């Protein structure tokens, strides 16, 4: 048999050595690249454990400062008496936030009055987003502490802001929702209905636009945006999230057990954090389901297509491989109560 091989016997060990060498070099290169591009989340600064609410009267700036509730860890899930927490990551959102808050506050007052909180995480905005949110709380005469406004000292990215807000939430269910109000807020009821089935185990309800792929909302987006969207979907599929069609929708809800299982472990602070959330969910066998929501394109997107799509592609591949190679480990981010908090 061997004598018939196209490679003479004498060269076979050499070829094998080359092949082995190439595999080793490639593995080292891939591993080093993953380590190079991996993220270590910055732990929050003392000023970021503080929030403002509308307790200063009509004059903005007179509000008192309050401590956020203790950070949620895997062994310390929230046990507050609030039904719903809404986390809104905001980066320079003065022009878009009002519409979203109008829709959310009207719905929440009607269906969950007295039992909800809105946590606005202002991610180092320079346009006065924090003050604007307090102004809206005043306009609606919300009781103090219904709206909590946290200001991050420096921009961290949407994932960092969402993680920070969720780790300080108190609701039995916690939703993060984009400030542009692109998703119809009342669809929250479908997400809650799904989570209600799980009283004692973690679960995630994933707002999804997958059913809208052929509708005007998506078709009318620019060609380049759609091209990049399909490219990203392909990468997400190749790199392992196969059960979820729309990983990127900014409308996801968690019960408090899922918040405790996922968010203390987050590394990714930028756009692709949704994929890490879902990966952490899959790795830990957490129940999750995509739930169709009504969504429309809203102008003023903060995504810079040229810059962000490259960063997103890198983060996506790196996140997947980092868990595969053990570069990212559960419980290593310093928020799980094992290291400094
Ligand atoms: N915290 C934080 N949030 C951001 C940042 N950029 C965008 N966001 C928020 O992420 C959400 C979605 O942003 P958007 O620009 O509408 O993204 P798109 O819908 O994917 O185009 C909004 O609530 C933004 O305020 C950022 O750098 N930091
Ligand atoms: Mg948007």
Cβ atoms within 10 A of the Cβ of 224, count? 11
Query: What are the pLDDT tens digits along the chain (341 aa)?
Result: 444 557 777 778 888 888 999 999 999 999 999 999 999 888 888 999 999 999 998 778 889 999 999 999 888 777 678 999 999 999 999 999 999 999 999 999 999 999 999 999 999 999 999 999 999 999 999 999 999 999 999 999 999 999 999 999 999 999 999 999 999 999 999 999 999 999 889 999 999 998 887 776 666 667 777 787 788 888 888 887 888 999 999 999 999 999 999 999 999 999 899 999 999 999 999 999 999 999 998 888 888 877 788 888 899 999 999 999 999 999 888 887 654 43
Instruction: Check if 158 has its Cβ closer than 6 Å to any atom of ligand 1.
Output: yes
**Of the ligands numbered here, which is closest to the C-alpha atom of 302?**
1
Task: Give the per-residue pLDDT at 68.
Answer: 95
Query: Residues lining ligand 2 (ion), CB within 5 A?
Result: 180, 182
- Cβ(124)–Cβ(152) under 8 Å? yes
Same domain, 67 and 141: yes
Task: Give the per-residue pLDDT at 28.
Answer: 93
Same domain, 16 and 87: no
Of how many residues is the chain composed? 341
pLDDT, tens digit (0-9, with 9 covering 90-100), for 67-102: 999 999 888 777 678 999 999 999 999 999 999 999
Q: Is there a domain that residue 334 lies in?
A: no
Q: Which domain holds residue 19?
A: 2-36
- Cβ(244)–Cβ(290) under 8 Å? yes
Residue 224 CA from chain centroid, whole number: 24
Same domain, 9 and 141: no
The SS3 of residue 300 is: coil
**Of the ligands numbered here, which is closest to the C-alpha atom of 88?**
1
Q: What separation in Å is there between the alpha carbon of 91 and the centre of ligand 1?
A: 6
Torsion angle, alpha carbons of 315, 321, 327, 329, to 10: 90
Task: Give the per-residue pLDDT at 339.
Answer: 44
Query: Which among 178, 182, 271 is the best mutation to test ligand 1's pocket, defined by most ligand atoms within 8 Å of the CB?
Result: 178
Same domain, 20 and 68: no
Q: Is there a domain that residue 332 lies in?
A: no
Q: What separation in Å is there between the alpha carbon of 295 and the centre of ligand 2?
A: 10
Q: Is there a domain that residue 337 lies in?
A: no
φ/ψ of 76, rounded to 5, equals -140, 75
Same domain, 13 and 162: no
Torsion angle, alpha carbons of 263, 268, 273, 275, to 10: -90
Closest-CA residue to 267 (of 176, 328, 338, 313): 328
Instruction: Please report, for the domain that includes residue 294, its CATH number.
Output: 3.90.550.10
Strands 171-177 and 65-67, sheet pairing: unpaired
Q: Is there a domain that residue 339 lies in?
A: no
**Of the ligands numbered here, which is closest to the C-alpha atom of 301?**
1
Same domain, 21 and 47: no
Same domain, 61 and 103: yes
Residue 137 tokens read as: 């709380």
Q: Is there a domain that residue 341 lies in?
A: no
DSSP state of 187: G
Residue 291 tokens read as: 């739930």
Which residues are CB-neighbours of 249 under 8 A, at least 6 positions away? 183, 206, 207, 208, 209, 274, 293, 295
Same domain, 133 and 280: yes
- Cβ(195)–Cβ(173) under 8 Å? yes
Instruction: Check if 95 has its Cβ closer than 6 Å to any atom of ligand 1.
Output: no
What does each C-alpha distance from 208 to 63, 238, 250 come to in angstroms? 38, 19, 9
Task: Give the per-residue pLDDT at 112.
Answer: 97
Chain position carrying tokens 């479908």? 190
Same domain, 134 and 273: yes
Residue 311 tokens read as: 């960063």
The SS3 of residue 82 is: strand
DSSP state of 209: -
Same domain, 24 and 127: no
Same domain, 6 and 68: no
What does each C-alpha distance from 6 to 11, 16, 20, 110, 256 come to in angstroms? 10, 14, 20, 78, 62
Q: Is there a domain that residue 331 lies in?
A: no
Number of domains in the chain: 2
Q: Is there a domain that residue 254 lies in?
A: yes
Q: Is there a domain that residue 107 lies in?
A: yes
Give the Cα separation of 323 and 341 in Å (integer). Answer: 22
Task: Give the per-residue pLDDT at 220.
Answer: 66
Same domain, 164 and 121: yes
Query: Which among 100, 165, 302 is the best mutation to test ligand 1's pocket, defined by most ligand atoms within 8 Å of the CB?
Result: 302
Instruction: Check if 48 has its Cβ closer than 6 Å to any atom of ligand 1.
Output: no
Task: Give the per-residue pLDDT at 340.
Answer: 41
Give the Cα separation of 35 and 328 in Å (integer). Answer: 9
């Amino acid at each position: 048999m061997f004598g018939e091989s196209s490679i003479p016997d004498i060269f076979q060990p050499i070829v094998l050595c080359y092949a082995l060498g190439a595999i080793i070099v490639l593995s080292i290169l891939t591993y080093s690249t993953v380590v190079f591009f991996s993220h270590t989340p910055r732990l929050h600064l003392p000023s970021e454990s503080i929030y403002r609410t509308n307790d200063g009267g009509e004059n903005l700036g007179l509000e008192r400062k309050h401590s956020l509730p203790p950070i949620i860890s895997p062994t310390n899930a929230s046990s507050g008496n609030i039904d719903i927490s809404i986390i809104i990551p905001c980066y320079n959102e003065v022009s878009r936030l009002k519409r979203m808050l109008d829709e959310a506050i009207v719905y929440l007052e009607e269906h969950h009055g007295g039992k909800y909180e809105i946590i606005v995480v202002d991610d180092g905005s320079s346009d006065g987003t924090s003050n604007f949110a307090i102004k809206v709380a005043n306009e609606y005469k919300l009781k103090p502490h219904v709206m909590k406004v946290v200001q991050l000292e420096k921009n961290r990215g949407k994932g960092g802001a969402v993680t920070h807000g969720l780790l300080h939430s108190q609701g039995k269910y916690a939703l993060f929702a984009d400030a542009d109000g692109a998703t119809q807020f009342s669809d929250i009821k479908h997400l809650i209905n799904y989570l209600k089935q799980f009283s004692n185990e973690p679960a995630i309800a994933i707002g999804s636009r997958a059913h809208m792929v052929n509708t005007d909302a998506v078709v009318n987006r620019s060609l380049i945006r759609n091209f990049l969207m399909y490219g990203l979907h392909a990468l997400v599929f190749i790199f392992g999230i196969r059960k979820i069609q729309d990983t990127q929708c900014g409308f996801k809800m968690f019960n408090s057990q899922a918040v405790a299982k996922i968010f203390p472990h987050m590394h990714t602070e930028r756009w692709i954090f949704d994929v890490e959330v879902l990966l952490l969910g899959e790795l830990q066998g957490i129940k999750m389901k995509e739930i169709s929501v009504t969504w429309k394109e809203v102008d003023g997107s903060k995504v810079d297509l040229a810059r962000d799509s490259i960063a997103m592609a890198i983060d996506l591949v790196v996140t997947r491989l980092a868990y595969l190679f053990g570069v990212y480990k559960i419980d290593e981010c310093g928020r799980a109560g094992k290291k400094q908090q």
